[in-house]
A and B are shown apart, each in its own frame.
Chain A
Amino acid sequence: MACDREHLVHAYLDGELDTAAALEFERHLASCPTCSPLLAALRQLRAALAKDHFYRRPPAGLRGEVLRRLDREDVETARARRSEVGVWRRLGEALARRREWLAGAATGFVLASLAAALLFALMLPGRDERLAQSLIDAQLRSLRSDHLVDLASSDRHQIAPWMAAQADVAPPISDFADRGYALIGGRIDFVETRRVGVLVYRHGAHVINLFVWQFYDQAPTAAMARDGYRMQVWQAQNLVFCAVTDAPEPELDAFVSLVRGRLD
């Protein structure tokens, strides 16, 4: 025989009814031919499931194993933090050494490029110092040879095939000169053994580097700011985009939405 309050038997057994509801249900139990045997059966089942037979205790070594995992995590976090600090300090030193070489608008440009390279390094898996060092070296090499853009052009039909051939990446390319973001050229950077394409835009006195590479691992959508530089990373069409600039945040946002608007 069914009873429409059967579900309350479980709630009652589990102490989920408030006092009033429990009292009311006890009155019902006294007279219901369905609910009271069900309650008895459930109590029997609960007794059979006695915790001391069924509770699985962890092996003696597990706690220590967990703590060791946490130790390793602490060590890795500390190492990542140290290498970040080291990288930023060395960037500061490198910039100080090179500063006298640079002048005017070129300063902003070079700073943005360096910051971009560095942020890029920090995002890559491993974040290791060797990688960051190789980025800085590559960047400084390019500065010495006045390597700001490899291909000075605002013609996307010219940049696209060149970048596809050089960096194996074929992003959609747009000039936003009419909106204040003028495409001035493209560059190929080396990151470890990987070639990445860089589209270079000028916005007033600021330069925006738009790094593009094939999606190959996690690079979650993110924004970060550091030492006056801002970066936004996102993914679209199997590519990872990373815009870096010293322009103010609203202007970077405007640029990013222009690019993303063109992509979507």
Chain B
Amino acid sequence: MDERRRRFEALMLPHLDAAYNLARWLTRNVHDADDIVQDAYLRAYRSFDGFRGEDAKPWLLAIVRNCHRSARERARAMIAVPLAADDGTGPDRDEAAGWPASAVEDPEAQAMRTDAARALAGLLAALPETYREVLVLREFEELSYREIASIIDSPIGTVMSRLARARAMLREHWLAAHGDGT
């Protein structure tokens, strides 16, 4: 194994869990998440010469996100023809519409210990992707606003407003479903 490969593994493999967790929450589907992570590692490996020693985790997660987005574009391109014209509500309209089937089929979600947690997972999975991704990066990866901004390629102000909006939506849905208690 050459030095480049060794260095790549040492820097990037420790973030496999984070890469998978993000891919799962983005795709909301076990098989797609596997593919995204494998693609992302391959892409990361190919562009590793462009890695300048910055933080490996946000660098890798940005690639995971890009892989997800291009896979989604490809999927959209294939099914685009029979659908009605764009209704103008943006790329997240289908995801925001309600509980995604994949979140319901998710075996881990089914294994959730409590109904409340399962319900909350469903609500999170149903958030529009732009809000879901910042919340996942913040709550589960505990990344800083700056790191999240670099991953989603947006200003910190955008991270802050999306995070606030994401939490507000989640609380709203949660309260609607479960009242004031837990």
Chain A residues within CB distance 8 Å of chain B: 6-7, 10-11, 14, 16, 41-42, 44-46, 48-51, 53-59, 62-63, 65-67, 69-70, 73-74
In the complex formed, the residue of A with least CB distance to B8 is A70
- Residues from chain A with a CB closer than 8 A to the CB of B24 are 56
> Please, could you name 6 A-B residue pairs with CB atoms under 8 Å apart, sorted by A?
A10-B163, A58-B37, A62-B16, A65-B38, A66-B37, A70-B5
B140 touches A58 (CB 8 A): no
Chain B stretch 151-175: residues in CB contact (< 8 A) with chain A: 160-161, 163-164, 167, 170-171, 174
Shortest distance from the beta carbon of B31 to any chain A beta carbon, whole Å: 10
Q: How far is the CA of A62 from the CA of B68 in the complex (A)?
A: 17
Partner of A69, one of B21, B42, B117, B160: B42
Does B56 belong to the interface (CB within 8 Å)?
A: no
B164 touches A10 (CB 8 A): yes
- Residues from chain B with a CB closer than 8 A to the CB of A55 are 17, 21, 140
B138 touches A53 (CB 8 A): no
A45 touches B174 (CB 8 A): yes
Between A44, A48, A67, the greatest number of chain B beta carbons within 10 A of the residue's beta carbon is seen for A48
Chain B residues within CB distance 8 Å of chain A: 2, 5, 8-9, 13, 16-17, 20-21, 24-25, 30, 33-34, 37-38, 41-42, 45-46, 108, 112-114, 116-117, 120-121, 124, 138-140, 144-145, 160-161, 163-164, 167, 170-171, 174, 182
- Residues from chain A with a CB closer than 8 A to the CB of B144 are 16
In the complex formed, the residue of B with least CB distance to A66 is B41
Shortest distance from the beta carbon of A133 to any chain B beta carbon, whole Å: 27
- Residues from chain B with a CB closer than 8 A to the CB of A66 are 13, 16, 37-38, 41
In the complex formed, the residue of B with least CB distance to A8 is B160
Q: How far is the CA of A69 from the CA of B5 in the complex (A)?
A: 12
- Residues from chain B with a CB closer than 8 A to the CB of A7 are 160-161, 164
Q: How far is the CA of A73 from the CA of B114 in the complex (A)?
A: 43
* Other A-B pairs beyond A11-B145, A49-B120, 13, CB < 8 Å: A7-B161, A48-B120, A53-B114, A54-B139, A54-B140, A56-B20, A56-B33, A63-B13, A63-B16, A66-B13, A66-B16, A67-B9, A70-B45
In the complex formed, the residue of B with least CB distance to A50 is B117
A70 touches B124 (CB 8 A): no
A14 touches B138 (CB 8 A): yes
- Residues from chain A with a CB closer than 8 A to the CB of B117 are 48, 50, 53-54
B124 touches A10 (CB 8 A): no
- Residues from chain B with a CB closer than 8 A to the CB of A44 are 182
Top 4 A-B pairs, shortest CB-CB distance? A58-B20, A56-B24, A53-B117, A66-B41
In the complex formed, the residue of A with least CB distance to B120 is A48
Q: How far is the CA of A160 from the CA of B176 in the complex (A)?
A: 72
In the complex formed, the residue of A with least CB distance to B106 is A56
Q: How far is the CA of A11 from the CA of B164 in the complex (A)?
A: 9
- Residues from chain B with a CB closer than 8 A to the CB of A54 are 117, 121, 124, 139-140
With A41-B171, A48-B182, A66-B16 already in contact, the answer to whether A53 and B112 are too (CB < 8 A) is yes
Q: How far is the CA of A44 from the CA of B116 in the complex (A)?
A: 13
Shortest distance from the beta carbon of B155 to any chain A beta carbon, whole Å: 14
Shortest distance from the beta carbon of A81 to any chain B beta carbon, whole Å: 12
In the complex formed, the residue of B with least CB distance to A16 is B145
B42 touches A70 (CB 8 A): yes
- Residues from chain B with a CB closer than 8 A to the CB of A73 are 42, 45-46
A53 touches B121 (CB 8 A): yes
In the complex formed, the residue of B with least CB distance to A13 is B167
A59 touches B34 (CB 8 A): yes
- Residues from chain A with a CB closer than 8 A to the CB of B116 are 48
Q: How far is the CA of A56 from the CA of B64 in the complex (A)?
A: 15
Shortest distance from the beta carbon of A146 to any chain B beta carbon, whole Å: 44
